[in-house]
């Protein structure tokens, strides 16, 4: 089998595609032939040796994949079955999806929903799964389309782009925040009603600002999230899942104690296995056919290191699909 192997020698990180015997894969109940993986922001951090995503080497990165069961020691999965995986520390602490095969505990796998292909599942991938969890969080907080506009930050990215599509399919008016004016047409095409410049949301946030947003999905953190909180309407909700702009949160208690705003953290990695199929079902029903062509670039395993560098330079738009087999 082939795998992208991250290795660290004397603090020097290398990332090379290598041929290795399947027996070298970490322990698990199921071996999967991987057809598709993707690049996410976290993969870019891992491949570039940033932020402690990977602490033990050698490591195969790739936090998600879809493929076909090659061998199973678990009665829930049979040879030939189509499956997908996101999260559980795969690609961080357990060898991941940027390889032709993976061996994982059966509990990590989700059967592929009937109405999705292996390729479509990974166009959605971790980013889309997280976007759906964010939308669900807003709905759980009672944010209905009649309450007002929803703002989405990091709009050109995988999570942001998918969140825009999902919200617009559900009838919400979506406002996108982007640092790239050249992406405005793309963002309007995938469902944003208007696009605001990221620079309008940087700089020290006031404790309270004019009330604009019924809800928000934030993928960047930092000053952008602080400004969104200050501009969120009374009783609004903000789902925060990312840190593309930094992990600080320079805000005050004012939006929470004077405007009754809810800040809901969203983690997809350890989202319970039993609840995952329903989330995937909802994604497969909501996303239009056009989503799969508009949002995707396709690369090879060999190109993944080069593209991981582009991620950290903010040169990636939408989802980056890695064709493995």
Q: What is the contact surface with ligand NDP in residues (CB under 6 A)?
A: 40-42, 126-127, 130, 154-160, 178-180, 183, 198, 219-220, 224, 241-245, 266-269, 311, 314, 316
Q: What's the min distance (Å) between Cβ of 77 and ligand NDP?
A: 24
| Shortest Å distance, C-beta 160 to ligand NDP | 6
The conformational region for residue 265 under phi > 0 = left, psi -120 to 50 = alpha, else beta, is beta
122/224 with CB nearer ligand NDP: 224
Shortest distance in whole angstroms from residue 45 CB to ligand NDP: 7
Q: Which residue has the tokens 């925040």?
A: 177
Shortest separation between residue 249's beta carbon and ligand NDP, angstroms: 13
CB 250 within 8 A of CB 205: yes
**Strand runs (DSSP E) across the chain, as ranges?**
2-9, 12-19, 30-39, 64-72, 82-86, 101-104, 110-111, 150-152, 174-178, 194-197, 213-218, 232-240, 262-265, 296-300, 319-323
User: What CA–CA distance (Å, rounded) separates 31 from 62?
Assistant: 16
The smaller minimum CB distance to ligand NDP, of residues 41 and 95, is found at 41
81 or 303, CB closer to ligand NDP?
A: 303
- Could you give the C-alpha distances from 10 to 4, 14, 95, 139, 300, in angstroms and in order? 20, 11, 21, 49, 29
CA atoms of 273 and 270, how far apart (whole Å): 8
Nearest Cα residue to 213 out of 235, 195, 197: 235
CB of 33 to ligand NDP, least distance (A): 25
Is the Cβ–Cβ distance between 228 and 153 less than 8 Å? yes
- The minimum distance between CB 75 and ligand NDP, in angstroms, equals 29
Residues with Cβ within 8 Å of residue 25, at least 6 apart in sequence: 1, 31, 95, 101, 102, 103
Given the complex with ligand NDP, which of 25 and 155 has the nearer CB atom? 155
> Smaller CB distance to ligand NDP: residue 236 or 242?
242
Smallest separation, CB 166 to ligand NDP (Å): 13
Q: Do the beta carbons of residue 155 and residue 273 sit within 8 Å? A: no
Q: With respect to ligand NDP, which residue has the nearer C-beta, 21 or 265? A: 265
Nearer to ligand NDP, 51 or 325 (CB): 51
Closest CB 143 distance from ligand NDP, rounded Å: 19
Residue 99 has phi, psi (to 5 degrees) of -165, 165
Give 148 or 154: the residue with its C-beta nearer to ligand NDP: 154
DSSP string covering 177-230, please?
EES-GGGHHHHHHTT-SEEEEGGGG-SPPPSS----EEEEEESS-HHHHHHHHH
The tokens of 191 are what?
Answer: 């469902």
């Amino acid at each position: 089998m082939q795998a992208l192997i991250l290795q660290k020698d004397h603090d020097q990180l290398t990332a090379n595609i290598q041929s290795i015997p399947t027996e070298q894969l970490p322990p698990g109940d199921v071996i999967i032939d991987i057809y598709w993986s993707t690049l996410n922001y976290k993969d870019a951090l891992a491949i570039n040796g940033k932020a402690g995503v990977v602490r033990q080497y050698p490591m195969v990165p790739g936090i998600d994949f879809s493929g076909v069961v090659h061998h199973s020691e678990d009665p829930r999965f049979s040879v030939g079955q189509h499956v997908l995986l996101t999260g559980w520390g795969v690609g961080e602490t357990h060898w991941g999806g940027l390889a032709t095969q993976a061996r994982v505990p059966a509990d990590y796998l989700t059967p592929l929903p009937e109405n999705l292909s292996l390729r479509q599942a990974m166009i959605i991938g971790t980013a889309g799964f997280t976007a759906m969890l964010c939308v669900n969080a807003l709905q759980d907080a009672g944010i209905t389309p009649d309450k007002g506009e929803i703002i989405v930050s990091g709009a050109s990215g995988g999570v942001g782009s998918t969140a825009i599509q999902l919200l617009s399919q559900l009838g919400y008016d979506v406002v996108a925040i982007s640092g790239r004016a050249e992406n405005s047409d793309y963002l309007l095409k995938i469902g944003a009603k208007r696009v605001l410049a990221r620079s309008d949301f940087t700089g020290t946030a006031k404790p309270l600002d004019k009330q604009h947003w019924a809800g928000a999905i934030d993928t960047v953190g930092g000053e952008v999230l602080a400004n969104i909180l200050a501009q969120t309407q009374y009783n609004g909700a903000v789902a925060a899942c990312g840190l593309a702009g930094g992990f600080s949160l320079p805000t005050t208690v004012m939006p929470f104690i004077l405007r009754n705003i809810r800040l809901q953290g969203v983690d997809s990695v350890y989202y319970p296995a039993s609840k995952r199929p329903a989330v995937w079902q909802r994604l497969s029903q909501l996303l239009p056919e056009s989503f799969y062509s508009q949002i995707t670039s396709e690369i090879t395993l060999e190109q993944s290191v080069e593209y991981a560098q582009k991620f950290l330079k903010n040169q990636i738009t939408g989802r980056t699909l890695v064709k493995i087999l």
